[in-house]
Amino acid sequence: MFEATLPPLLLTLKVACLGTLLALAAGVGLARLMSRRAFPGRDWLDAACTLPLVLPPTVLGYYLIVLLGRRGILGAWLLETFGITLMFTWQGAVAASAVVAFPLVYKSARAALESVPKNCENAARTLGAGETEVFLRVSLPLALRGILAGTMLAFARAMGEFGATLMIAGNLPGKTQTLSLAVYSAVQAGNDDQANFMVLVISIVCVVILAATSKLVKPKT
């Protein structure tokens, strides 16, 4: 039973880690832009960044196919230029995980950055620090707890991704079958014992992540 669970578990951890890292880089960068100043269309951009939280997974998967498919906007260019495709590959699963995890990182990072006292940033500027230095040495350290909490929640979300992954990466055992897809396959095959064990593994990992997140965001006394 464990032997059948290990390959999808390892793939899930790899996909979730890489997807979360991509979401972290994009989420913090965009959160910094959105928290610094107002500009025309900011509310529309914020809504677009939050969209993966509310869209049905199949709709999100369809958007990814339109964007990354062999005939997609970006996918056709990747195929013609580099000869690579993300369809039915574990890299496609990483893209799906990054997209679903992104809003959690972005929202947490933006709230954390907006809560940084402006007088601390202004004090650094008066001492001659540039904007990049202010961000790296003042804003980011003060917002780090909130960003890390959002990142951990994003990792848990990426681990449980199902619908978008199924549409863009498929359900290929040993290649693109994550733990959530393996549970689905086990239930479809009537293998309840295997499905129960996999569900238990996912639940334990998510509980550990949520407990760690709760400790992270708990105010220091």
Query: Model confidence over 32-88: pLDDT tens digits?
Result: 988 887 788 888 999 999 999 999 988 999 999 999 988 888 999 998 988 888 999
Rounded to 10°, the helix 57-68/75-82 angle is 40
Asked whether the beta carbons of 113 and 27 are under 8 A apart, the reply is no
CA-angle at 94, arms to 177 and 158, nearest 5°:
80
Asked whether the beta carbons of 203 and 9 are under 8 A apart, the reply is no
Structure pTM? 0.89
Q: What is the pLDDT of residue 205?
A: 84
Residue spans per domain, the chain: 2-216
Asked whether the beta carbons of 69 and 174 are under 8 A apart, the reply is no
The closest alpha carbon to 169, from 61, 80, 75, 93, belongs to 93
CA dihedral 9, 13, 19, 21 (to 10 degrees): 180
Domain 2-216 class in CATH: mainly alpha
Binning pLDDT at 50, 70 and 90, where does residue 95 land?
very high
Distance CA 149, CA 112 (A): 10
Query: Model confidence over 149-165: pLDDT tens digits?
Result: 899 889 989 988 898 99
